Amino acid sequence: MTIRGPIVAVDLFCGAGGLTHGLLQGGVAVRAGFDVDPACRFPFESNNSAVFVERDVRDLKAQDITSFFLGNEVTLLAGCAPCQPFSTYSQAGRGKRRGDDWLLVSEFGRLIGEIEPDLVTMENVAQLASHPVFDEFLGRLKDYAVSWSIVECSALGVPQSRKRLVLLASRLGSSDLDIRAAGSAVRTVRDTIADLPALVAGETHTDDRLHTACTLSPLNKRRIQASKPGGTWRDWDEDLRASCHLKESGSTYPSVYGRMVWDDVSPTITTQCFGFGNGRFGHPEQDRAISLREAAMLQTFPRSYQFVSHDEAVRFNRLGRLIGNAVPVRVGEVIAETFKRHLEAVAA
- Render pLDDT for 34-80 as a digit per residue (tens, 0 to 9): 999 999 999 999 999 999 999 999 999 999 999 999 887 999 999 99
Residue 103 in domain:
yes
pLDDT in tens, 206-221: 999 999 999 999 999 9
Q: What is the CATH number of the domain that holds 76?
A: 3.40.50.150
Give the per-residue pLDDT at 266: 97
> Based on the structure, what is the number of domains in the chain?
2
Same domain, 199 and 127: no
98 pLDDT more than 60: no
Same domain, 121 and 139: yes
Contact present, 18 and 329 (Cβ < 8 Å): yes
Residue 2 in domain:
no
Q: What is the CATH number of the domain that holds 307?
A: 3.90.120.10
138 pLDDT more than 50: yes
Give the per-residue pLDDT at 248: 53
Give the separation between CA 289 and CA 101, rounded to whole angstroms: 33
Give the per-residue pLDDT at 92: 41
Q: What sign does the dihedral 131-136-139-145 (CA atoms) show?
A: negative
Helix, strand, or coil here: 133?
helix
- Residue ranges making up the domain that contains 21: 7-187+327-343
Give the per-residue pLDDT at 159: 98
Give the separation between CA 341 and CA 339, rounded to whole angstroms: 5
Dihedral of the alpha carbons of 104, 297, 76, 86, in degrees to the nearest 10: -20
Residue 1 in domain:
no
CA atoms within 13 A on the CB side of 340: 16
Which positions ≥6 away from 81 have C-beta within 8 Å?
Answer: 12, 13, 57, 104, 105, 107, 108, 122, 124
Give the separation between CA 49 and CA 30, rounded to whole angstroms: 7
Please confirm, yes or no, whether 80 is among the known catalytic residues: no
Catalytic residue among 80, 83, 153, 273: 83
Give the separation between CA 311 and CA 145, rounded to whole angstroms: 47
Give the per-residue pLDDT at 279: 87
The amino acid at 298: L
Minimal CA–CA distance to 172: which of 347, 28, 36, 43? 347
Which positions ≥6 away from 253 have C-beta within 8 Å?
Answer: none
Give the separation between CA 243 and CA 2, rounded to whole angstroms: 66
Residue 271 in domain:
yes
Same domain, 26 and 169: yes
- pTM value? 0.92
